[in-house]
Structure 1
Amino acid sequence: MPRIKPEVVLLLGASVWGLGWIPLAYLASLGLTGMPVVLYTYGLLCVLAIPVLLHQQRIWWPQRRALLLICLCGGWATAGLVSALSDGDVVRAMLLFYLAPVWGLLGGWLLLGERQTPLRIGALVLAMTGIALTLGVSRETFSAMSASDWLALSAGLAFACNNLATRAADQVPLASKSVVAFVGTALLGGLYCLLMGITLPSVTPGVWGVLLLFGLFWLVAMSAAQYGFSHVETSRAAVLVVVELLVAVLTAAWLGERELSLREWFGGALVLTAALLAEYRETPSAPLVCEAKQ
C-alpha cells in the first residue's frame, strides 16, 4: 500500500483546521466563547493526553526540552488565537496570526539551516499577498496595536516556534507530540482566565458532550499537522498550512455566512497557488529520520 505523502497529510490537517469555525460558532450560540472554551475543551483532552505522555516518557525523555517547547508554543498558539478572535477584530487577528509563515521561513533558515530557494520565497510572497487580499487590508489594519492584536501576533510567532520544535523533536513519538500541546493549551488558557479574572460559565452535561466532540475534532487535526511538521521542512510547511484560511473562507461562503468578492476569490487563488508551489520538490532530498516507535 503506497504511503501518503507528508505534504498531503499536512494539507488535510490544515483543511480540518479551516473547518474549526463551524463548531466554534455553534459553541458561541450556546454562550461559550473565548478562553473558557479553550480551558474546557483542552482540559477534557488532558484526560487522554497525560496517560499517553506518561506511557511514552522513556522514549521522549532525551528530547524533553523540545517536547516542553511544543507544549508551551503549541498551547499558546491555540489559546492566544482563540482569545484574539473572541475579543478583538477578526480581520486584524487573522492577518497578524498569519505572519507565521514569515517566522517559519526565517526560523527554518536561521535555526535549522534549511535552504531557501527562489521558488520557496516566491511561494511565501504569494501566500502573504493572498492572505492580505482575502482578509482585506486597509489603512485601519495598521493602526495602533491593541492587546488583542498582540495576542494574535504572539500566537502566530508561537505557532512558528511550535513547528520548529516539532521538526527538531525527531525522536519523540507522534502521539506525544500531538497531545502535549493540549496540556499546554489547557494550562495557559486556565492561567489566562485566572489573571484576567474571567468567570467560567456553567456547562450542562449535553454541552460537555459537544465540547468532547470538538476536542476529538482538534485531536484529528493536530495529529495530521504534527505528522506533517515532523516530515516537511519548516518553511514549506508554513506555506502549506495557509490553506486553512482558504478552507475557512470558502466554507463560510458556501454555508451562507458571507459573500465572496472578486478580491477574495483572487486572494484565495494566490493562496492555493502558493501551496502548490510549496508542495513541489525542486530536487530530490534524502529520507528524513523516521518517527520514533510508539
Structure 2
Amino acid sequence: MTGGVRNAWPTLAIMLGASVWGLVWYPMRMLAAMGLSGTAASATTSAAACVFVLLAKRRSISTLSWHWLLVGLGVAAGVTNIGFVWGAIHGQVMRVLLLFYLTPAWTAVFAHFILKERLSRADAALSLLSLAGAVTMLWSPKLGLPLPANLAEWAGLMGGMGFAMSNVLVVKVTRTLPAMKPEMRTAVIFGGAALIASIVTLFEPMPAPPAAALLPAVTAIVIGLGVVLAGNNMIVQLGLARVPANRASIIMLFELVVTALSAWLFAGEVPGPREWAGGACIVVACVLSAWVHRPRAARPAAVADTPGIVDGVPESKKKSTRAMV
C-alpha cells in the first residue's frame, strides 16, 4: 500500500460511513411502505446488526462486565435510532437531519455535567450559533414560536440529543472501562437500540403487518441493512482510530450532502432558503467546534512518546462509536 493510499483510507472510511448514514432513510421508508413501522424497523435492523457483530467478532469480544454507563449508552443509542428512523420516515428528511445535527449545543451541555469539562465561551457561542440555525430554519410568522412543526421534527431533535449523549458516554466508557474493545461497545450500542426500540414499539399504533408475499423481501432488507450498518460501524471505527477527532467531525458532515442529494433524487424534497440558511449555521457551528477543539501543533516529546497518546491526544478521546439505526 502506497503512502498516499495509506494516508487517505481512514478519511475514505469515514466518508463511506457518512454516505451510508445519508442513504439509510430510504430503505427504512421502503420497510414502512411494506407495513413495518419505524420503531419495528429500528428494532429489527439493530438486532440484526448486534447479532452480526457478536458472530463476526465472537473471538475478540470479551465478557461484558456490568456497569451503569453501558446501560446509559444503550438507552442513548435507542433514543438516537428511534429519533432518526421515525423522523426520517414520517418527516421531511433534510429538516429532520438538520435538527438531528444540533449536536454542538447538546454535547457542550452533556460534557459539562458528565465529563466535567468546563463550558468555555467558545463552546457557549457555538452552541448559540447552532441553536440560531435551528431558529432560522423553524421560524415562521404563521407558526409563531420557532419550534419543530410536527412529531417527526421533534423525533429528529430528540435523536440528535441522544446522539450527543451517546458520543459523550462513549468517551466516558473508554475512560472508565479502558479494557473494553470497540467491538463490544458496538454490540452494546446496537443491542441497546434494539431493546429500546422494541419497548417503544409496544406503544406505537401498528399498521397492517406486511403481507405474506412481502415477508421474504422485508426479511432480506432487515438482515441486509443490519449487516451493512454493523460492518459500516466497524469500518468507520478503524478510520476514527487514525484520524484526529476534530477532522473526523468535519468529514462526517459529508452525510448532509449525501442526504440532501438522496432526498432530492428519491423523495423530491428540495430545501428552501430558510432551510439552507439554518443548515449553514449548524454546519458552520460543527466545523468551528472541531477547529476550536483541535489539538495544539506543538507537543512536548514526553507526551508524544507516551503509550496511549496519539498526536498529543489520548486515544480514548479520539475514538467514538456512532449509533445509527
Shift of 1:181: 1.5
Within 5 Å, which residues of 2 pair with 1:11-26?
12-26=16-30
The farther-off stretch of 15-24 and 279-288 is: 279-288
Query: With structure 2 as the length reference, what TM-score do the two structures score?
Result: 0.67
Unpaired runs of at least 5, structure 1:
none
Shift of 1:153: 4.4
1:32 aligns with 2:36: yes
Shift of 1:80: 3.5
Distance 1:289 1:256, change over 3 A: closer
Within 5 Å, which residues of 2 pair with 1:99-118?
99-114=102-117
**Other-structure match for 1:159:** 163
Within 5 Å, which residues of 2 pair with 1:260-279?
260-279=271-290
8 Å contact kept, 2:104–2:126: no
**Other-structure match for 2:194:** 186
**Higher CA-based Rg:** 2
Tell me the percent identity.
26
**Other-structure match for 2:323:** none
Letter in 2 for 1:83: W
- C-alpha separation between the residues in 2 aligned to 1:228 and 1:279? 17
8 Å contact kept, 2:79–2:193: yes
- C-alpha separation between the residues in 1 aligned to 2:70 and 2:57? 10
8 Å contact kept, 2:29–2:89: no
Shift of 1:35: 1.3
1:286 aligns with 2:312: yes
- C-alpha separation between the residues in 2 aligned to 1:216 and 1:129? 38
Distance 1:92 1:217, change over 3 A: same
Distance 1:211 1:33, change over 3 A: same
1:194-216 deviation digits (Å, cap 9, x = unpaired): 24463672452232112222223
**Other-structure match for 2:218:** 207
- C-alpha separation between the residues in 2 aligned to 1:230 and 1:74? 20
Letter in 1 for 2:315: V
- C-alpha separation between the residues in 2 aligned to 1:31 and 1:289? 44
Unpaired runs of at least 5, structure 2:
298-310, 320-325
Query: With structure 1 as the length reference, what TM-score do the two structures score?
Result: 0.73
Shift of 1:104: 0.6
**Other-structure match for 2:81:** 78
Letter in 2 for 1:289: E
The total of aligned residue pairs comes to: 290
8 Å contact kept, 2:36–2:207: no
The two structures, once aligned, show a CA RMSD in angstroms of: 4.2
Shift of 1:253: 2.5
Distance 1:52 1:121, change over 3 A: farther
Shift of 1:179: 2.7
8 Å contact kept, 2:98–2:282: no
Structure 2 residue matching 1:192: 3-state secondary structure:
helix
